[in-house]
């Protein structure tokens, strides 16, 4: 009897612990629950009334909307055969139009746009708030496209087949129901598809784990299964990789966010590609598979270092032989930020101390040679579009004070001309850009850019905003933002872009220094930049704010809970905050390669030290945080922000909260919604920091 009493007491005690640990705000995770939406509505009303009543709100809103709708914006190209396609939103096309123009006319500046699909009209007809999510065409004719449409801006999409000559969806054409998936043409009558095929076909991260071939005029249920991953994988998928006229069908399974196995589907079997699981693919050119190494790789007693870009003879690789050429090996201050191909050339974007350089690589006699493109210096270079039928391409250059310019280039002879520039939406003359490095707690030097008035006084009173991300090997590069110009710089603000670890500014090792148990390095880097600005008397905690979204929302959530003494304003957008449950919410399980698994005690031990939701304390001098998210965000659950606000409010802390009812992870679906978000954000910052 005593044994059973002790067992009962043990179980009762365990249940008590579990009950005590239960989250009293779980009801806010019910995305469309009536109580949760009531919470959202009441907070939205209070926040919008407060922030829209600020002196600068209406001027910022009007100017942002004017800029977003400006006909002087660049119509960025996507090249498909003889046409350039473009998606465009303005005051007359709130949800946007998908349109095309002959490539020769576009290059000549004769923009004879032909509207393919009007999303506003489609939304009205279907009574659905459609958001255009892109289209992929049928090679080489490009007379048919698979158009992806989202209901309200989420990641889940409906896919419909579209005839661009008739400008209509194809009756009884290919059509996929709403899911986080995609499809690509193998030929006019065959798609390679990953989608929700029914029970047991999705991963715990909410993505497809099966890949099928689907024939025209057959039900999706009859599609042929050719590949599948595990339920615990992040995802599985397939796509077509082209090398000139040759086409290869690739399938893959992503075991984690940073590890995948790739195979070629050939002769009704999957031939595994023997390359590192953490490597990145950059396409195939002239039978050379382009591979970026994320860790050291030793082949035939030769070690290729982390961050190196190599190529492998593709047909030999399929036979199990590795013939490897080094394309480029970045040094400790450089990284590869982008890889593109034209018909015959390889285009590589490099970062050196977080400023862009562009190179053209050619394969001659089995060896790679390079030429540097004489693009402008000290900014960001991005490939806007590349033509796989010629060596022509478009690239952009921008920095903080120079409006974005689109260039038309020829990789065959390394020439380019300016095609179109954005207008100067604000006067950049009074401002300057400086780059500094702050010493983090472990001695690492962390670069950051500061944009300020040339006449700025170093008296500690300048309203200063730090923007940072610090995750997923995503580099924060210089950019031109008219919104920051008119809403912040012209209001007397100082803007800082911090290149903290976790990003990819200095290659894979810069990212890996912030993974999992090393995450605190990311946060310490942000504090080092903040303290450096204070030491330079640019600002002081009273006038210092920080902003970040998604993983950056987690960053700033950690910042104000760990170091409330540093900041007087925090803009926390579409954030992760509850790091104990993040892997159970929407796509959260896919990020365990970045943060760790909170269900493993050893990993929760380090996650728990920074999880903002769990480190809230009473009696602290927290800033009045502005949280912004979207009901239709199906990537980062809106429950993170909702629960954080509810918990803080119940502890007696004042917050600002706004949840857009659509917009997905981007936060907004239309230019007007974006202008409102910007007007609220900068009105809040000016209210708190001036």
Output the six-digit token pair for 690. Answer: 């001036």
Q: What is the pTM of this model?
A: 0.94
| Among 179, 207, 239, residue at a domain's last position | 179
Shared domain for 505 and 604, answered yes or no, is yes
Shared domain for 49 and 139, answered yes or no, is no
In a domain, residue 219? The reply is no
Number of domains present in the structure of the chain:
2
The reported pLDDT for the residue numbered 21 is 58
In a domain, residue 240? The reply is no
Each residue of 442-469: pLDDT tens digit?
A: 999 999 999 999 999 999 999 999 999 9
Domain residues for the domain of 565 are: 28-65+425-689
Shared domain for 580 and 454, answered yes or no, is yes
Average pLDDT rounded to a whole number, residues 263-267: 96
| Among 179, 212, 246, residue at a domain's last position | 179
In the block, residue with structure tokens 């993983």? 551
In the block, residue with structure tokens 């493109």? 373
Alpha helices for 110-268 (secondary structure H): 119-126
The reply to whether 543 belongs to the active site is no
Going by pLDDT thresholds of 50, 70 and 90, the confidence category of residue 22 is: confident
* Strand ranges inside 103-155, DSSP E: 114-118, 130-137, 144-151
The reported pLDDT for the residue numbered 15 is 39
Q: Inform me whether the pLDDT recorded for 320 exceeds 90.
A: yes
Integer angstrom CA distances of residue 281 from 239, 315, 330, 356, 523: 13, 16, 17, 21, 30
Q: Inform me whether the pLDDT recorded for 628 exceeds 50.
A: yes
DSSP 494-543: EEEEE--BTBSTT-HHHHHTTSGGGTHHHHHHHHHHHHHHHHTTS--GGG
In a domain, residue 310? The reply is no
Q: Inform me whether the pLDDT recorded for 309 exceeds 70.
A: yes
Whether the link from the prior residue into 298 is cis, omega within 30° of 0, is no
Q: Inform me whether the pLDDT recorded for 12 exceeds 90.
A: no
In a domain, residue 245? The reply is no
Q: Inform me whether the pLDDT recorded for 314 exceeds 80.
A: yes
| Radius of gyration of the chain from its Cα atoms, rounded to whole angstroms | 26
Integer angstrom CA distances of residue 555 from 526, 565, 577, 610: 9, 16, 9, 10
- Which of 638, 678, 628 shows the shortest CA–CA distance to 658? 628
Output the six-digit token pair for 340. Answer: 């593109």
* Strand ranges inside 59-139, DSSP E: 78-80, 83-90, 93-102, 114-118, 130-137
CA dihedral 296, 299, 303, 307 (to 10 degrees): -40
> Do 147 and 162 contact (CB within 8 A), yes or no?
yes
Shared domain for 34 and 173, answered yes or no, is no
Output the six-digit token pair for 105. Answer: 């006319």
Report the DSSP pairing between strands 83-90 and 224-228. unpaired
Shared domain for 108 and 163, answered yes or no, is yes
Integer angstrom CA distances of residue 221 from 183, 203, 225, 230, 604: 15, 19, 10, 20, 41
Shared domain for 60 and 115, answered yes or no, is no
Integer angstrom CA distances of residue 428 from 56, 396, 405, 485, 499: 20, 19, 15, 8, 23
> Do 648 and 613 contact (CB within 8 A), yes or no?
no
In a domain, residue 393? The reply is no
Shared domain for 564 and 459, answered yes or no, is yes
End-to-end CA distance of the chain: 70
Phi, psi of 610 (to 5 degrees): -125, -10
Phi, psi of 568 (to 5 degrees): -110, -5
In a domain, residue 493? The reply is yes
CATH code: domain of residue 543 = 3.40.50.1820
The reply to whether 184 belongs to the active site is no
Give the contacts of 361 (CB within 8 A, at least 6 positions apart): 327, 328, 345, 346, 347, 348, 368, 369, 370
d(CA 406, CA 480): 13
Shared domain for 514 and 624, answered yes or no, is yes
Shared domain for 484 and 619, answered yes or no, is yes
Shared domain for 447 and 506, answered yes or no, is yes
Each residue of 164-195: pLDDT tens digit?
A: 999 999 999 999 999 999 999 999 999 999 99
d(CA 88, CA 99): 8
Other Cβ atoms less than 10 A from the Cβ of 22: the count is 8
d(CA 488, CA 571): 14
Q: Inform me whether the pLDDT recorded for 4 exceeds 60.
A: no
Going by pLDDT thresholds of 50, 70 and 90, the confidence category of residue 560 is: very high
| Among 128, 144, 179, residue at a domain's last position | 179
Other Cβ atoms less than 10 A from the Cβ of 15: the count is 10
Going by pLDDT thresholds of 50, 70 and 90, the confidence category of residue 579 is: very high
The reported pLDDT for the residue numbered 595 is 98
Q: What DSSP designation does 388 have?
A: T
In a domain, residue 365? The reply is no
Shared domain for 61 and 82, answered yes or no, is no
Q: Inform me whether the pLDDT recorded for 18 exceeds 70.
A: no
Shared domain for 53 and 140, answered yes or no, is no
Integer angstrom CA distances of residue 688 from 23, 463, 567: 31, 9, 10
The single residue of 421, 482, 550, 611 carrying the catalytic annotation is 550
The single residue of 43, 93, 640, 665 carrying the catalytic annotation is 665
In a domain, residue 533? The reply is yes
Q: Inform me whether the pLDDT recorded for 17 exceeds 50.
A: no
């Amino acid at each position: 009897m005593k044994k059973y009493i002790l067992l009962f007491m043990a179980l009762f005690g365990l249940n008590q612990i579990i009950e005590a640990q239960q989250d009293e705000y779980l009801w806010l995770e019910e995305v469309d629950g009536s109580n949760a939406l009531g919470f959202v509505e009441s907070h939205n009303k209070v926040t919008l009334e407060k922030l829209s009543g600020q002196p600068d709100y209406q001027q910022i809103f009007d100017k942002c909307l004017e800029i977003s709708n400006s006909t002087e914006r660049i119509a960025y190209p996507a090249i498909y055969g003889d046409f350039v396609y473009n998606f465009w939103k303005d005051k007359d096309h709130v949800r946007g139009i998908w349109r095309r123009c002959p490539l020769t006319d576009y290059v000549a500046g004769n923009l004879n746009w032909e509207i393919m699909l009007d999303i506003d009209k489609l939304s009205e007809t279907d009574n659905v708030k459609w958001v255009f999510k892109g289209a992929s065409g049928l090679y080489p004719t490009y007379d048919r496209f698979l158009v992806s449409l989202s209901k309200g801006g989420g990641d889940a999409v409906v896919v419909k087949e579209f005839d661009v000559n008739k400008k209509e969806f194809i009756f009884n054409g290919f059509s996929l129901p709403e899911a986080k998936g995609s499809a690509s043409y193998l030929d006019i009558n065959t798609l390679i598809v990953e989608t929700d095929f029914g029970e047991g076909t999705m991963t715990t991260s909410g993505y497809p784990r099966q890949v099928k071939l689907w024939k025209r005029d057959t039900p999706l249920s009859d599609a042929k299964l050719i590949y599948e991953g595990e339920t615990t994988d992040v995802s599985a998928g397939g796509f077509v990789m082209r090398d000139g006229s040759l086409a290869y069908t690739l399938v893959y399974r992503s075991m984690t966010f940073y590890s995948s196995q790739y195979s070629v589907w050939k002769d009704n079997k999957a031939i595994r590609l023997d390359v590192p699981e953490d490597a990145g693919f950059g396409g195939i050119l002239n039978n050379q598979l382009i591979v970026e190494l994320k860790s050291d790789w030793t082949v035939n007693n030769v070690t290729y270092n982390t961050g190196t870009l190599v190529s492998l003879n593709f047909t030999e690789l399929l036979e199990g032989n590795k013939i490897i050429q080094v394309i480029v090996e970045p040094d400790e201050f450089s990284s590869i930020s982008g890889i593109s191909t034209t018909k015959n050339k390889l285009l590589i974007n490099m970062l050196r101390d977080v400023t862009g350089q562009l190179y053209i690589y050619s394969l001659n006699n089995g060896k790679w040679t390079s030429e540097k493109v004489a693009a402008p210096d000290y900014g960001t270079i991005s490939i806007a579009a590349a033509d796989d039928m010629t060596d022509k391409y478009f690239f952009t250059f921008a920095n903080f004070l120079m409006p974005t310019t689109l260039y038309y280039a020829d990789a065959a002879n390394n020439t380019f001309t300016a095609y179109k520039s954005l207008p100067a939406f604000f006067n950049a003359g009074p401002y300057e850009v400086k780059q500094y490095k702050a010493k983090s707690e472990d001695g690492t030097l962390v670069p950051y850019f500061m944009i300020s008035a040339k006449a700025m006084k170093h008296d500690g009173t300048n309203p200063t905003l730090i923007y940072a991300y610090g995750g997923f090997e995503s580099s924060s590069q210089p950019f031109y933002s008219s919104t920051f110009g008119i809403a912040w710089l012209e209001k007397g603000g100082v803007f800082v872009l911090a290149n903290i670890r976790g990003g990819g500014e200095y290659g894979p090792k810069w990212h890996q220094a912030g993974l999992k148990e090393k995450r605190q390095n990311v946060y310490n880097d942000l504090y080092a930049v903040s303290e450096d600005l204070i030491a330079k008397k640019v600002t002081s905690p009273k006038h210092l704010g920080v902003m970040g979204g998604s993983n950056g929302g987690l960053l700033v959530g950690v910042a104000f809970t760990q170091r409330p003494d540093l900041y007087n304003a925090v803009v926390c957008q579409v954030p992760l905050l509850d790091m104990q449950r993040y892997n159970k919410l929407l796509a959260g399980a896919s990020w365990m390669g970045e943060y760790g698994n909170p269900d493993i005690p050893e990993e929760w031990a380090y996650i728990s030290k920074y999880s903002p939701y769990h480190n809230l304390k009473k009696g602290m001098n927290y800033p009045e945080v502005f949280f912004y998210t979207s009901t239709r965000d199906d990537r980062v659950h809106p429950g993170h922000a909702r629960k954080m606000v509810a918990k803080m409010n119940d502890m007696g802390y004042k917050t600002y909260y706004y949840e857009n009812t659509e917009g997905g992870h981007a936060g907004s679906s239309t230019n007007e919604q974006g202008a409102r978000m910007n007007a609220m954000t900068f009105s809040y910052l000016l209210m708190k920091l001036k």
